[in-house]
Chain A
Amino acid sequence: MIFKKTMAKIPLFIIPALLLTGCAPTAYVALLNNADGSVGEVMVKGAQGETLISKANTGALLDGSSTAAFAVDKAQLQEDFGAALAAQPPLPVSFLLYFQEGGTTLTPEATALLPEISAAIAARKEVDISIIGHSDTTGDAKLNEKLAQERAVFVSGFFDPVKLAIKEVTITSHGEKNLLIATPDNVSEPRNRRVEVAIR
């Protein structure tokens, strides 16, 4: 195995041992699994070095004094982050509404979904929602932005902020810049022509 110079100073196996004996590092980041089971990446740039971590339950020192990723076990996570993890708000939930082509007429399936969305909003305390219009990549980006905005405004009419005790309704358009299904420009894709109701 080839060690970089900085790694050679602190052998990899010593760091988890330090964690277990209670001499936990004072400043570190640990990567966790995403809710869908995937894992992202974290890049740390400290004064003394850089570390990239891309495996769940591994950590990196923030100052870069060691650039070796180290294992962080469940007990350590609980000790250091139990309170922060327990304070996590419910994850935002999103519903997608689809339209007949060209205008602001919802599909029958989308219309049938409206009561479920209202119920999900009503179930949360101090709830705020975003209603975001999205388009596919057919045609002009500016026109797509405008149509998507019109659809978002139309959808907002179904959710009464007073009746549902909504703290704030944010109505925006992402036009063709936030595709559900990645496509090149000028591709008609019905699944990209949608309004998203994000409930937080």
Chain B
Amino acid sequence: MRRYKLSGLCLLWLLSASPAHSDDSPIGYVKTSTPNAVLITGSKTEPAVVGSAIHVGCIIKTDTNGTLGLTLKDNTVLSFGPDTEFEITQFLYRPTDEQLKLDMNLLKGTLHYISGVIAKLKPTAVQLNTPAGIIGARGTHFVVKVED
């Protein structure tokens, strides 16, 4: 039993030490939503409602009529139009260790981006990947569209 517990702890430690999930606490919350938006974490799909937590690696998906808006803990504001698929792949917000990074993927659809503190403290730390090209935002406000 003790052995089991220990290996369980080790497993937890390993999971928590993996770079993609270095911290289990949410990086932000859904603030606006329609019934046609979902959050996909691994094989689990749940409706995105106002107050849903956002984690690194979870995919935000809207259908033909869906929209969604969220804020991240560094005050970044993101909102999405219909037929959109989006993911935050890295979020580091620890100014005291100079650990600042926001990496995002827009697979398709539309995104409205308003920069937060990460971009303010380190303008080169924000990157948005799309199938067509990479956007480096330097502390700013933009919209981007990617069609299938």
Residues on A facing B (Cβ under 8 Å)? 26-35, 39-47, 61-64, 77, 80-92, 94, 125-126, 128, 130, 141, 145, 167-168, 170, 173-175, 177-178, 198, 200
- Bound CA span A43–B77, Å: 19
Stretch of B2-10, B12-20, B79-87 that contacts chain A: B79-87
B46 in the interface (beta carbon within 8 A): no
Q: How many angstroms between the C-alpha atoms of A62 and B26 in the bound complex?
A: 30
Which of A27, A85, A173 is within 8 Å of B146, CB to CB?
A27
Chain A residues, CB < 8 A from B11: none
Q: Which residue of B lies closest to A41 (CB)?
A: B138
- Using CB atoms and an 8 Å cutoff, list the residues of chain B in contact with chain A: 25-26, 29-32, 34, 50-51, 67-71, 73, 75, 77, 79-82, 84, 95-96, 98, 110-112, 114-117, 121, 130-147
Contact between B50 and A45 (Cβ–Cβ < 8 Å)? no
In the complex formed, the residue of A with least CB distance to B31 is A89
Q: How far, in angstroms, from A82 to B79 measured CA to CA in the complex? A: 11
What DSSP secondary structure best describes chain A's contact surface?
mixed
Assess A126 versus B29: contact at CB under 8 Å? Given A27-B145, A178-B117, A200-B75: yes
Known contacts A83-B110, A91-B77; is-contact A177 B71 (Cβ 8 Å):
no
Residues in chain B near residue A34, CB distance under 8 A: 114, 140-141
Instruction: Check A174/B130 contact, CB under 8 A, given A87-B67, A89-B32, A126-B50.
Output: no
Q: How far is the CA of A168 from the CA of B50 in the complex (A)?
A: 14
Contact partner, A39, options B34, B68, B140, Cβ 8 Å? B140
Q: State whether A80 touches B110 (Cβ < 8 A).
A: yes
Pairs A–B under 8 Å by Cβ, sample size 17? A27-B130, A29-B145, A30-B143, A31-B140, A43-B138, A46-B132, A62-B135, A81-B81, A84-B80, A84-B110, A87-B34, A90-B31, A126-B30, A126-B51, A168-B29, A173-B96, A178-B95
CB distance from B114 to the nearest CB of A (A): 7
B31 touches A80 (CB 8 A): no
Complexed CA–CA distance, A195 and B118 (Å)? 18
Q: Which residues of B contact A128 (CB under 8 A)?
A: 29, 71, 73
Per the bound structure, the CA–CA distance linking A44 and B121 in Å amounts to 21
Contact, CB under 8 Å: B144 / A177: no
Cα–Cα, bound, A47→B70 (Å):
30
Quick check: B141 and A175 within 8 Å, CB to CB? no
